[in-house]
Amino acid sequence: MNEFNVKSKIYFGRDALQYINNLKGKKAFIVIDPFMVKSGTINSITNLLKNTNIDFCVFSDIQSDPAIEIINMGIKEILKFKPDIIIALGGGSSIDAAKSISAFGTALRRVYEKHTEKPLFIAIPTTSGTGSEVTGYSVITDKKKKIKYPIYGEDLIPDVAILDPELIKTVPKAITADTGMDVLTHAIEAYVATNATDYSDALAEKAIKLVFKYLLRAYNDGSDMEAREKMHNASCIAGIAFNSASLGLNHGMAHALGGEFHISHGRANAYLLPYIIEYNSDLENSNYNYASKKYREIANFLQLTSSTVERGVVNLVEYIRGLMVNLNIPTSLKKAGIDKEIYYKAIPSISKIAMEDKCTITNPRSAKFEDVVCIFKKVYGE
Nearest approach, Cβ of residue 271 and Fe ion (Å): 13
The CB-nearest residue to Fe ion is 182
In whole angstroms, the minimum distance from the beta carbon of 265 to Fe ion comes to 6
Rg (CA), the chain: 20
Q: How far is the CB of 130 from Fe ion (least distance, A)?
A: 6
CB of 38 to Fe ion, least distance (A): 26
- The residue (of 102 and 130) whose beta carbon lies closer to Fe ion is 130
Return d(Cα 156, Cα 177) in angstroms, integer: 27
Q: Are strands 137-142 and 147-152 parallel, antiparallel or unpaired?
A: antiparallel
Which residues does residue 150 pair with via DSSP β-bridges, in sequence order? 139
Q: For residue 146, give the nearest of 261, 253, 63, 250 by alpha carbon.
A: 261
Nearer to Fe ion, 178 or 182 (CB): 182
Instruction: Report the C-alpha gap between 329 and 323 in whole angstroms.
Output: 9
Q: Which residues from 168-207 bind Fe ion, rule CB under 5 A?
A: 182
Q: Collect contacts of 147-152 with beta carbons under 8 A, ≥24 apart.
A: 147/259, 147/353, 148/65, 148/255, 148/256, 148/258, 148/259, 150/251, 150/255, 150/357, 150/358, 150/359, 151/100, 152/358
Whole-number Å distance between alpha carbons of 62 and 64 = 7
Element spanning 90, H or E: strand 85-90
The size of the interface with Fe ion (CB under 5 A), counted in residues, is: 1
Task: State in angstroms the smallest separation of the CB of 248 from Fe ion.
Answer: 11
Distances (CA, A) of 116 to 71, 105, 175, 208: 21, 12, 39, 40
Question: Which residues are bridge partners to 140 per DSSP?
Answer: 149
Residue 65 vs 182, nearer CB to Fe ion: 182
Cα of 220 vs its chain's centroid, Å? 22
Nearer to Fe ion, 33 or 178 (CB): 178
Tell me how far, at minimum, the Cβ of 250 lies from Fe ion, in Å. 9
Closest to Fe ion by CB, 129 or 312: 129
Q: How far is the CB of 26 from Fe ion (least distance, A)?
A: 35
Q: Rank residues 138 and 289 by Cβ distance to Fe ion and give the closer one.
A: 138
Q: Does 77 contact Fe ion by CB under 5 A?
A: no
Select 164 or 182, whichever has its Cβ closest to Fe ion. Answer: 182
Binding interface with Fe ion (CB under 5 A): 182
